[in-house]
Structure 1
Amino acid sequence: MSKTAEEFQRGGMEKIKQHTFALAHYTYTVLSDLKYANGAPVVRIYSDTDFSSPDVQGPIINFNVLDENGEILGFSQAGHICGDNIDVVDGRPTGSVRISFGYMSSFEDAQSFLNFIIATRLSKSDSEISFQPVTKLTTESVTDDNPSFNNAEILSPILQISDRELGSNPSVTKTTINCQPPETEAESIRAAVSETTVPTCRKGGEPITVANIYLYPIKSCSGFEVTEWPVGNQGLLYDRNWMVVNQNGVCITQKQEPRLCFINPSIDLKQNIMVIQAEGMDPISVSLEDSGKEAVICESKVCSHRVKTYDCGEKIAGWFSMFLGRPCRLIRQSSDMESKSLQKNTKGLSSATNISLSLVNEAQYLLINVASIMQLKEHISERLEEPLETEELIQRFRANIVVRAPESFEEEEWAEISIGALRFQV
């Protein structure tokens, strides 16, 4: 064992333990002291210790936020944005908030969290709390010698990185892009396969082409491939315009219901219908006509976006309920209300303002590069008993536009791209 390794073994982990526990102890102490004007506690902490020793208590705090009457504040009220809305069962909360401190956590992180709790739960007269750093927390507690802990800014701020797959493995990122289409009919604007894709920041090199175009009419259900498709003011026409919700009106995704991936919707533009198929079920169709003016409009929430939707009826609800084995309904985004992109551009590029979104999480289009997928595949193949096929890996990222570029991950440097007559801002 090298001298450096011996020193780290003797003191490194001990310093980290002391550092993280000091943060946890400080946060626990302040949280425990927070009270409403009537003397009621702001939080209920779940712990068998009083955070007096790092030998019996790790740097984790579990708690629920309470209101002035001592009732648990539901996670929907607290900003929870995905999943169901069942907060309490038989008087017990179905979940709690957890704070975990680590090597890179700082006193400022703890302060920011406590300030958030105070600002959202207490009035100014209740929240005059003086923050004093704990004596154990010093700049020598943990060193910054390891560069792997100092890479928070390596991602370009002009990119919006979507869901990462396959745990902690280095993963391909989906690039999200927005577009302001020309002021012409949506049906007249088409992005065709094999059109040359040109990043405006790219100089020279081999051409980049569009390999595939995928459409996902129902959020979290299977997509279908097209060779060309109309572009509307929210992205590909009818992309993520519908979603499945539970009996409480909350969006169901594959995280809660993996069988959604077996539902195959497709759009028939000539017949003006969406056909929905699944194994063991008779196909069913839904009109593409927006009947929101006649149906009851309700408000739903998709991640951080609030959208107005309308129900697609009892027949289609029965179809989905039978296939999934649980009460659910199909709803469609109303044309009366569209989500707006809140993305910010920090590199001085012309910002795409007032971007309309469908039921997507982040942006109008998701793009992925085959070369990046191939590098990911090479990296993980040796770890898998049954390596994934390239096509399967591509489908896991649910991108609308799949491009073939010479270099892997070069898409992370793109600022704008053009496909035919369309220009996109990354």
Structure 2
Amino acid sequence: MTGRRLPLDWCRKLRVCNIYSLLDAASLVSTSPLDLSDADSAPDFTVLSFYKIFGFPDLGALIVRKGAHNIFDKRKYFGGGTVGMVTSLEDQWHAKKSTSVHDQLEDGTLPFHGIIALHSALDVHERLYGSMENISRHTGSLAKVLYDSMAAKRHANGTVVCEMYKHKDSSFDERTTQGPIVSFNLRNSDGEWVGKSEVEKLAAVKNIQIRSGTLCNPGGMAYHLCLKTEEMKRNYNAGQRCGDDNDIIDGKPTGGLRVSLGAMSSIRDINRFLDFIDEFYVDKSNANTVLTPQGVMQSKRGPQPSSFYVDKLCVYPIKSCGAFIVPDGKQWEVKPEGLAWDREWCLMHQGTGLALNQKRYPRMALIRPVIDLDNGILQISRWMPGADDNPLKLPLSDQYVDISTAELCENSMKKSSTSYGKSTTKGTRAVAADRVPRGVPQIRRLGLVSTVPDGLCRPVHGGQERGTVLTLAKTRKVDGKVKCGRHVCLSHDNSEDGVDGRGKVMIMTGQVVEPFEAVYVGYREQVPQ
């Protein structure tokens, strides 16, 4: 978990007590030579992964100390190719191969394609890097720079940014005790923990791959986070599961973050990650609150804006596909379930009959629908170089809709992109990723119900708009998490503003929206995933 390397002489001490030892060297051999020349100190069994060294082939290996091979004589099962004779009638008997240990353990057909490829992988690896000792020196020096730089980071008020996890007996100056792995958590300027999953998601947007969670080492993570057994059981009963977004429970983090360096890592990668922390997690303002532009949603300690105005209206006619931007100056109907024609269609998998989503098929974001109300047509085209110029055209009439409402299982979404320039219209420049629940009376005033988590904002923005997500990470943090907008509802009002001659509630770009705090009682609706 922390990259600590244990001394091999532990194996010799265990052997004196008639205890077998096994060394999991999968992480070690990816950046360091493995020396088993001292048979007395060598582990009885050593496992390693060629996948972690080369990427391909995805093979593993088991190295058995000759003095420990007799333990396999007690193996009760066998597979094809590991026996000399088998009887299937009357007595159940088989004779194991006795020529070598590997003959007894290689059950079934060997992955001969991967074994052949392993020879080429070894040759290419040596040609690129020379030796494992070269890789060890390279990654060790990078890890020291990264660890020292992160440990030295401070907020403007002097509080620590990175809470580092390392064993007291290991040192980045000594490669025999510490590998090129850096484990940590982040704190804000108030000393509060920053959620691990939020950091991992934002890093992925910046094309930085880090690991979050208990890092497949629940014991080590519990030790460094000072989590007691009863606390971990209580967290589980409260809903925490491995890999979820329950980052902080009762003021304690449930996991950590890890950066692992390899042969291809460079000082440029290190500097880029350090710049990432500086940009998004180091408070340079010496203030106790998150800085946000005037009028933009603030934390619970800040005042609510008096009014918004609509900068842009986007409708998503097809679930998980691109947005149709309502032209400036054009009024658009707001129905009880949301904007008109929003989430009215979906793409169906012909094999399973299930609705497709952008999480599994990211390129759905390239599908761009256009609603032509004058001709009653939905035009669908692909937004990419070389795409067909002839869009698919579907009528907007009900009889052509061949989907089940239950299949959609989605709330209607109303999204308006956010910008922070000066406005010539009365009101504040922001109405972002809002949701209008069903069954609420039609009226122009919008009630602010709750903030929208980043997990919902990501699919609304189509996933591909990285700049939007990065801007939100800098300006829309509330209680340590990125919030991208407000859930809203329509409210009762005697005013006729925003209602056309047919009694329909309309909205358009540039229109002022009056917000107010609202609380739902007895209303609950699942947020779309």
What's the TM-score, normalizing by structure 1? 0.37
Q: From the two aligned structures, give the one with the greater strand fraction.
A: 1
Greater C-alpha radius of gyration: 2
Q: TM-score, normalised by structure 2?
A: 0.31
